[in-house]
Chain A
Amino acid sequence: MTVQGIHGNAERSALATVRQGLSLTPEFRKGLGVTLALAVVATVGKIIVPIAVQQTIDQGLKSGRPDVAYITWAVVVCAAAVLLTALAAYVMNVRLYKATESSLATLRVRGFRHVHDLSVLTQNSERRGALVSRVTNDIDQISSFMQWGGLMIIVSLGQLFVATVLMLVYSWQLTLLVWICFIPLMIALPRFQRLLSRAYTVVRERTGDMLAAVSESVVGAAVIRAYAAERRTAERVDKAVNANRAAQTRAQTIVGFVFPLTEIVAAVAIAGIVLLGVRLGLSGDISQGRLVAFLFLVTLFVSPLQTATEVLNEAQNAVAGWRRILGVLDTPPDVADPGPKGVELPRGPISVAFEDVDFAYPGGAPVLREVSVRIPPRSRVAIVGETGSGKTTFAKLLTRLMDPVAGRVTVDGHDLRDVRFSSLRERIVMVPQDGFLFDGTLEQNIRYGKPSATREEIALALTELGLADWLEGLPAGLDTPVGQRGESLSAGERQLVALARAYLADPDLLLLDEATSAVDPATEVRLARALEGVTRGRTAVSIAHRLSTAENADEVLVFDAGRLVQRGPHAELVGQPGVYADLHASWVSAARS
């Protein structure tokens, strides 16, 4: 088994990254040639003014008296050209937006789906926020680059190119002069960009710190008051806010100094043109119109170079964004759905078998060793053991959240790895200890277990679970909003909803991972009895955190240090000296001391 971390892709070159990224978005490449051709037309529009100025001075004013008819004709032609290039720019923009947004939306959804397809282990190897960034910020960076930065690169290079060509037509000497003035700046630009990029990185970090500090004053409101830690918190917030401000100011200062450099260089070039141009004019190498046109052509160098640091910065961010999203898509789901050729399990009671199963987290010591056990259909199994004994690992292997390192897990005789996910998830459902709820109403959350369920079915499910009283006590009944992650409910209530959700899904094997640990004892007992009734005829596996679950099970599986050390009914195990008897004794003393 390989390590499940999401690929970093740091080694892939920038060009290869972009090429591979583009290959994933066919919508973008379709019609790209036309879009680029339009961009070229739009760029050519930039040299209309210098040409018009040159024509006016050299042709219109040639005779000493202005040739008004010629100038008017030239201006009309140029104006038509301007309108044409504006139209080209409009069509190009709309095409570009449509193509990039469509292709990036596809990529976004693909990335999202892929994150869900990754195994639990891979998902947990990364912070949630970082995973979210892959389908939000990273894509946004690519999109803003494609619509602005990338376009700017094409337009800027085009602008420099057509300006240079026209300059060469007018005077190679002055062209050389202009380039000599601008080349040192061009060489220095990547250096400035690195400086700026570092400064922005610091800003991002400080902004993160600032948000974290501010959030403490909100999320920790109760603790801060209970311990009169207001002043201390305020000082921490002030420090973080000020550090953030300092970083922002520093980045802005760099921009402030770099940005006007281009104007100074342009002025040097213009002064040089005047000095050298006059000398060339005296020797008859250049006309006065061409000389004046040069002054206008130099301005075409300014905006590409002024925006270059920003464009380079965006390009860098976009490549990093591509790398990260490709990193997700290139990470194979190591617990993969066999797809349509997989086995469909028929409905009905489920039997499970573990055959010499080993499990270890990547790079870690084994946490489950040589586990072999058969769980017959319709049986009620309790799993007990101390924290870290392998109980939850067993549950995750049984629900195929992870695959064993060695051995195999079978249901109804089929290797779990061959069973279609759609079939597997329908028949085997686990209720995890932390009942995660979605922001919405109680009804919406329970319906998540069975999207087609009616309101009546949902109410009935709660009644069958013995939770009708609890439901009646809620202010808005099934319409009670649960809040983000269900935080408007108590931990115990969240578990009740999670349980109802799983029950509504109507699985043939229900696996409870300490699913009622935060519920009060009276409710828990009532729930346990109700569950016993409703799971009759199904296979039920519970990770137990209290005595009676184990006592009521048909069979108890006792885990210790990753091994299945004892198994059998409670009555039998409790009499034998061993792990179970010890655990039992500690439970009894905790409950009755």
Chain B
Amino acid sequence: MASKVTSAVMRQGLRVLGVAVRTEKAVFALAVLASAVYGGMTVASAWALGWATENVVLPAFAEGRVGAGALWAGAGFILGTALLKALGVAGRRILAGVMQYRMQARSRRDVTKQYLRLPLSWHHRHPTGQLLSNASADAEAAWAPLAPLPMAVGVIVMLVTAAVAMVFTDLVLALVGFLIFPAIAVLNLVYQRRLSPLATRAQQLRAEVSEIAHESFDGALVVKTLGREDLETERFQRRAHELRDANIAVGRVRGLFDPMLEALPTLGVLAVLAVGAMRLSGGAIGSGDLVQVAYLFTLLAFPIRALGWVLAELPRSVVGWQRVQAVLDATGSMDYGTREAAAQEAGPAALEVRGVSYAYGEAEVLHDVAFEVPAGRTVAIVGPTGAGKSTLVQLLVRLVDPDRGAVLLDGADLRELAYGAVASSAALVPQQTFLFDDTVRGNVALNLDTPDEDVWAALRLAQADGFVARLPEGLDTRVGERGASLSGGQRQRVALARAVVRRPRLLVLDDATSSVDPQVEAKILYGLRDAAEASTVVVVAYRMATIALADEVVYLDHGRVVDRGPHEELIERCAGYRNLVTAYEREEAERAAIEVAGVTGEELEEEIEKEIAGEEEEVSA
């Protein structure tokens, strides 16, 4: 059974290699040609040596003199074959690299294009780490056998040439070769098959050790503040010791097979000498022939292993290729309509959410959500943690499509708009800020060709002009991977500037100023309201200051719109909303009252419990 699986893997592996060969026909053909030159010349170099022995060395000792012609011809043969062989080696190595790296790069580009093409809902279903390794490690593994492939093909040429050469030299000596070389090839194959699972396991453990170290150092503050260094060291040590044992297991196999693979051709040469001596005494061959065959054995011993290398890489290659292919085969894309953005319609956009439902897999998180935002108005979406606010916001700018219902911008279903039309009208500032490893200017302008004055104006509106001006290179300062060189609040403000620089007709803010000081946040919000190009604004918020700016509030709980209307009305009639937004004030008022009444600690606790119970009743009511 196991061998069946393996041969299936081998067949698949050869198919993967076939893909590469068809894609890079020219490079592969040249690489094989170079490798064939190398293979042929390896055999020829042994022949040259044999020729020189037979026609130069032995006559010289036998006859005490040597012809200058034969002498120089011998030297010429040796040098000529070596030069051609060297050229073959260089060509084979370089071209194999060109092919391998081209295929890797191609897979990486294709996979990334898929990442950019596939809808966000697909991204939600696949962990980040997996997607990253598809583009890096898997793309690398898929095409790893291409490195030794041309050499392996060259070795086959070499073996055929050597077989022919040996048969022509002497059939009996050739038989020794026919015994030894297949034995080396088989031994190496067994070696690689035994090694491969062990090496994979060691590789896997190496990744796990690295993961533990990463996580543990990332959480160093938690480890320290709870004094869990021993626990962490134990966790790391357990895996490190598993890795040690796995590496030793690899070492045992290597330690066993490497010397055997080295000894086998040496024993072959010795066999050639023993058999050759008998053939010599029979007069079937000359001494030069003996030297040639013996030399050939020493030359062939190493390259013949290339066959094993290719075969050993195949299982890993198949897995890598399948993973890459799974991404490339993934279906599902966001289809776009043909309606262009209503560019002529300057000014704020009107938004309507019509009976929208959305589920992550089985779990529906939005149920029949409906509300509209008239052009130029500001609506706050308020609700407790986990109410579905961030999901709703993603629907508003068509990061995902609703399962039921529709989102309409100026009366047009978002799905009917052309690619880029939503982005040119609406801008979202998400809760989790993402900055590109680019300059401040690049992060704000992105694909637009925005003049610097406009970038600065947007930064000013986002209260980011001050710190950007103080950066060492101003707008040209690179912010590092994911904006690592900036603080959380600074990143949020750059992300905000990115949205406002587009003068969006609809601006969607998902708790986008949570890391900004309240005073700065107030300035930003007033600035946005007073900006010349008025936008329609949808804002997710907890803070009263933010809510107060809204013309209307949509109160969301458990994925449903519980109530909507102006803040003053909602606070009167909607218990859940009142509880949420006035939590701090009520608490404060109660405390004041309790202090006045001079109640004791226990009484206070009872009060609180009653209050909590009351709240819950109200909410469930």
Q: Which residues of B contact A52 (CB under 8 A)?
A: 269-270, 273
Q: Which of B229-264 contact A (CB under 8 A)?
A: 229, 231-233, 236-237, 240-241, 243-244, 247-248, 250-252, 254-256, 258-260, 262-263
Pick the residue among A49, A98, A274, A529 that contacts B57 (CB under 8 A). Answer: A274
Q: CB of A86 within 8 A of chain B?
A: yes
Q: Which of B441-481 contact A (CB under 8 A)?
A: 446-447, 481
Question: Are A222 and B120 CB-contacts (below 8 A) given A89-B259, A249-B97?
Answer: yes
In angstroms, how far is the closest chain A Cβ from the Cβ of B609? 9
Q: CB of B215 within 8 A of chain A?
A: yes
Q: CB of A485 within 8 A of chain B?
A: yes
Known: A87-B259, A263-B85, A484-B215. 8 other contacts (CB 8 A): A116-B216, A210-B136, A217-B115, A217-B116, A264-B82, A491-B431, A521-B583, A551-B591
Q: Which of B98-143 contact A (CB under 8 A)?
A: 98, 101-102, 104-105, 108-109, 112-113, 115-117, 120, 123, 127-129, 131-132, 135-136
Q: Which residues of B contact A102 (CB under 8 A)?
A: 244
Q: Which residues of B contact A438 (CB under 8 A)?
A: 215, 219
* Complex CA distance for A135 and B233, rounded to whole angstroms: 12
In angstroms, how far is the closest chain A Cβ from the Cβ of B202? 10
Question: Are A228 and B270 CB-contacts (below 8 A) given A263-B82, A281-B60, A436-B219?
Answer: no
Contact B543 A590 (CB under 8 A): yes
Pick the residue among B231, B241, B269, B290 that contacts A49 (CB under 8 A). Answer: B269
Q: Which residues of B contact A79 (CB under 8 A)?
A: 267, 270
Contact A296 B218 (CB under 8 A): no
Question: Are A112 and B233 CB-contacts (below 8 A) given A61-B287, A529-B608?
Answer: yes
In angstroms, how far is the closest chain B Cβ from the Cβ of A321? 15
Contact A518 B514 (CB under 8 A): yes
Q: Which residues of B contact A491 (CB under 8 A)?
A: 431
Fill in one digit per residue for B417-442: 1 if any A CB lies within 8 Å of its CB, else 0: 00110111001101100101100000
Q: Which of A395-452 contact B (CB under 8 A)?
A: 399, 401, 421-422, 424-426, 429-432, 436-439, 448-449, 451
Q: Which residues of A contact B135 (CB under 8 A)?
A: 214
* Complex CA distance for A271 and B51, rounded to whole angstroms: 12
* Complex CA distance for A536 and B521, rounded to whole angstroms: 35
* Complex CA distance for A199 and B8, rounded to whole angstroms: 39
Q: CB of A260 within 8 A of chain B?
A: yes
Pick the residue among B105, B294, B517 that contacts A53 (CB under 8 A). Answer: B294
Interface centre among A224, A236, A424, A533 (most CB of B within 10 A): A224
Q: CB of A220 within 8 A of chain B?
A: yes
The chain A residue with its CB closest to the CB of B78 is: A271
In angstroms, how far is the closest chain A Cβ from the Cβ of B99? 10
The chain B residue with its CB closest to the CB of A94 is: B255
* Complex CA distance for A546 and B226, rounded to whole angstroms: 26
Fill in one digit per residue for A218-246: 1 if any B CB lies within 8 Å of its CB, else 0: 11111111111111111011100110110
Q: Which residues of A contact B605 (CB under 8 A)?
A: 533
Q: CB of B53 within 8 A of chain A?
A: yes
Q: CB of A288 within 8 A of chain B?
A: yes
* Complex CA distance for A478 and B112, rounded to whole angstroms: 36
Q: Which residues of B contact A221 (CB under 8 A)?
A: 115, 120, 123
In angstroms, how far is the closest chain B Cβ from the Cβ of A513? 10
- Interface window among A70-78, A168-176, A347-355, A357-365: A70-78
Q: CB of A136 within 8 A of chain B?
A: yes
Contact B270 A75 (CB under 8 A): yes
Interface size on A, residues (CB 8 A): 178
Contact A432 B222 (CB under 8 A): yes
Q: CB of B75 within 8 A of chain A?
A: yes
Fill in one digit per residue for B12-43: 1 if any A CB lies within 8 Å of its CB, else 0: 00000000000000000000000000000000
Q: Which residues of B contact A552 (CB under 8 A)?
A: 591
The chain B residue with its CB closest to the CB of A590 is: B518
Q: CB of B280 within 8 A of chain A?
A: yes
Q: What 7 pairs across the A-B complex have the smallest Cβ distances?
A: A425-B227, A97-B251, A93-B255, A267-B82, A252-B97, A228-B423, A260-B86
Question: Are A228 and B420 CB-contacts (below 8 A) given A53-B273, A234-B116, A436-B218?
Answer: yes
Contact A75 B274 (CB under 8 A): yes
Q: Which residues of A contact B117 (CB under 8 A)?
A: 230
Q: CB of A295 within 8 A of chain B?
A: yes
Q: List 23 A-B contacts (CB under 8 A).
A: A48-B270, A56-B290, A97-B254, A108-B240, A147-B251, A212-B481, A217-B112, A225-B399, A226-B423, A230-B117, A234-B116, A241-B109, A245-B105, A249-B98, A256-B94, A259-B89, A267-B79, A267-B83, A425-B225, A484-B128, A521-B584, A522-B579, A590-B518
Interface centre among A242, A448, A525, A552 (most CB of B within 10 A): A525
Contact B587 A548 (CB under 8 A): yes
Contact B131 A218 (CB under 8 A): yes
The chain A residue with its CB closest to the CB of B209 is: A136
Q: Which residues of B contact A493 (CB under 8 A)?
A: 385-386
In angstroms, how far is the closest chain B Cβ from the Cβ of A485? 7
Question: Are A551 and B588 CB-contacts (below 8 A) given A223-B434, A228-B447, A292-B53?
Answer: yes
Question: Are A120 and B221 CB-contacts (below 8 A) given A53-B294, A241-B109?
Answer: yes
In angstroms, how far is the closest chain B Cβ from the Cβ of A483? 8
Q: Which residues of A contact B430 (CB under 8 A)?
A: 222-223, 226
The chain A residue with its CB closest to the CB of B265 is: A49
Q: Which residues of B contact A249 (CB under 8 A)?
A: 94, 97-98, 101
Q: Which of A519-548 contact B (CB under 8 A)?
A: 519-526, 528-529, 533, 536, 546-548
Pick the residue among B82, B263, B543, B581 that contacts A86 (CB under 8 A). Answer: B263
Fill in one digit per residue for A119-146: 1 if any B CB lies within 8 Å of its CB, else 0: 0100100001101100110001001000
Question: Are A82 and B224 CB-contacts (below 8 A) given A60-B277, A93-B258, A281-B61?
Answer: no
Q: Which residues of B contact A257 (CB under 8 A)?
A: 90, 94
The chain B residue with its CB closest to the CB of A71 is: B277
Q: CB of A266 within 8 A of chain B?
A: yes
The chain A residue with its CB closest to the CB of B223 is: A116
* Complex CA distance for A431 and B580, rounded to whole angstroms: 25
In angstroms, how far is the closest chain B Cβ from the Cβ of A416? 14
The chain A residue with its CB closest to the CB of B102 is: A245
Contact A426 B419 (CB under 8 A): no
Contact A90 B256 (CB under 8 A): yes
Contact A526 B254 (CB under 8 A): no
Contact A93 B215 (CB under 8 A): no
Question: Are A439 and B215 CB-contacts (below 8 A) given A475-B363, A520-B385?
Answer: yes
Chain A contact surface mostly = helix
Contact B120 A57 (CB under 8 A): no
Contact A592 B291 (CB under 8 A): no
Q: CB of A101 within 8 A of chain B?
A: yes
In angstroms, how far is the closest chain A Cβ from the Cβ of B300? 12
* Complex CA distance for A442 and B121, rounded to whole angstroms: 25
Contact A448 B86 (CB under 8 A): no
Question: Are A522 and B580 CB-contacts (below 8 A) given A86-B262, A226-B428, A241-B109?
Answer: yes
Pick the residue among A60, A97, A303 that contacts B247 (CB under 8 A). Answer: A97
Contact A89 B258 (CB under 8 A): yes
In angstroms, how far is the closest chain A Cβ from the Cβ of B490? 12
Q: CB of B529 within 8 A of chain A?
A: no
Contact B90 A123 (CB under 8 A): no
Q: Which of B381-440 contact A (CB under 8 A)?
A: 384-386, 394, 397, 399, 419-420, 422-424, 427-428, 430-431, 434, 436-437
* Complex CA distance for A475 and B365, rounded to whole angstroms: 12
Q: Which residues of B contact A117 (CB under 8 A)?
A: 229
Contact B544 A592 (CB under 8 A): yes
Fill in one digit per residue for A266-308: 1 if any B CB lies within 8 Å of its CB, else 0: 1110111011011001100001100110011001000100000
In angstroms, how far is the closest chain A Cβ from the Cβ of B123? 5
Q: Which residues of A contact B584 (CB under 8 A)?
A: 521, 525, 546-548, 591
Interface centre among A72, A213, A587, A593 (most CB of B within 10 A): A593
Q: Which residues of A contact B399 (CB under 8 A)?
A: 222, 225-226
* Complex CA distance for A501 and B226, rounded to whole angstroms: 9
Q: CB of A14 within 8 A of chain B?
A: no
Q: CB of B542 within 8 A of chain A?
A: yes
Pick the residue among B101, B269, B436 that contacts A220 (CB under 8 A). Answer: B436
